[in-house]
Amino acid sequence: MTDVTMPRLSDSMEEGTILKWLPAAGDEVGRGDELVEIETDKATMTYEAEASGVLEIVAEVGETVPLGAVIARIGVPGAAPRRDDGQDQGGSSSDDRVNGRERAAAATPVAAPAPASGAAADGSAKSRAFASPLARRIAAELGVDLTGMTGTGPRGRIVRTDVEAAAARSGSPTEAAARSIAPAVPAAPFAAPAAANGTAKGEITRIEPTKIQQVGARRMAESKATAPDFTLQVDVDMARAVELRRQIKDVLEGEPAPTINDMVVKACALALRKHPKANGSYRDGAFELYSRINVGVALATDHGLLVPTVFDADAKSLGEIARTVRGFAARGREGAITPPELGGGTFSVSNLGMYGMRSFTAVLNPPQAAILAVGALAERPWVDAGQLVVRSTMALSLTVDHRILNGAEAAEFLTTIVQFLQAPGRLAFS
């Protein structure tokens, strides 16, 4: 019998969520077969079997499991399976497996489910409920009795959604007890009318964030709590950049041309060459400056906000950057961007111009020193040589970590970006 444990699929991964078992419990799998889809802090990955045999599933779909914990076992065909009641034939409990601990195996196999400690009111022993470790923990928190409950999981196993549904139908004993001892409070004369479910806000729907959303929330909170940031804003005359893109489209004859955002990525990469402190971070009381210039491009997808990285963006041509970013967009829609593509960034670009946003302030992506927010490109009034004209302009907002870049350094860096965009020929030949 081979244990399948939660693998480390990214450097920052601490736990993973089981999204889908590709074979069913009891199926024979071969070494190298696709086994399970796991959601990590960065992406959804498919993990392959490292042994051949019959699959026994330990962690059900929807369960979040720490690194190293057993999620399945692969046994020899015909071998006696481990018990499903939370104890295997060696006496290891489900809770122990979830915590990544295996107790020593007992010498004598157990043929029948072990009774739970304690006895029912009528003196008969109650069998331990067939439930996942996560379901047991949530049931304990909500005060839900699992005795006699049949779940919707494989072979009737009780899973988290069964516990939550039971709590929603009847309310937990804890809640009931609290209601029974709560003092009566007269209604206020002008109190808001309660909805049918008893709350003024109406029905409440609780949505659990995905692993990617959880990590994003934690990193953004870390950024605002630890980095003393400030933002600089500037308007850019994009007339020449728009004209260059038109010329490139004519030459390509229907093939996709680099976008304005691709030009921004290239301009940032070239500016980072000239301002190496912007291509670094402040960590552990010291400056870290990076030799490679890797620009992250923020993408809004159905799977959450992703920031895949254009590696060595300063050395890539405008066409290479365009093809790389288009590939990110396509794979982002499919949820197929890999963890290596989401790491290694030294600077980030976030563009909300396609939503018509004039300008906005982006949150730093720690530990990076800066992030550029790109607004909508539109024709606006512009003063040129004392004359009021209409030009294609765009607002840029640069947010920086003040611990590594001061105001003058940040202004010089942003000015260099603007210079590249207003003389876009340098983007095509640098």
Positions marked catalytic: 402
Nearest to 15 by CA among 41, 35, 36: 41
> Terminal CA-to-CA distance of the chain, rounded, Å?
58
**What's at 365, amino acid-wise?**
N
Peptide bond into 424 cis (omega under 30): no
Provide the 8-state DSSP code for 342. G
In the block, which residue shows the tokens 């089981």? 18
d(C-alpha 138, C-alpha 332), whole Å: 33
Backbone angles phi, psi at 123, to 5 degrees: 95, -10
Tokens standing for residue 191: 């109190």
d(C-alpha 329, C-alpha 135), whole Å: 37
Nearest to 164 by CA among 152, 156, 155, 176: 152
Name, in order, each residue with C-beta under 8 angstroms of 405's C-beta and a sequence gap of 6 or more. 277, 278, 369, 370, 413
Q: Is the Cα dihedral 250, 251, 257, 259 positive or negative?
A: negative
CB half-sphere exposure, 189, CA atoms < 13 A: 0
DSSP-based three-state secondary structure for 178 = helix
Q: How far is CA 366 from CA 61, 221, 245, 361, in A?
A: 32, 10, 33, 15
* Residues paired with 75 in a beta bridge: 54
Nearest to 348 by CA among 246, 229, 213: 229
DSSP-based three-state secondary structure for 12 = coil
| Cβ atoms 275, 262 nearer than 8 A | no
DSSP-based three-state secondary structure for 321 = helix
d(C-alpha 151, C-alpha 156), whole Å: 5
Residue 187 buriedness (CB in 10 A; 0-12 / 13-18 / 19+):
exposed
d(C-alpha 309, C-alpha 329), whole Å: 12
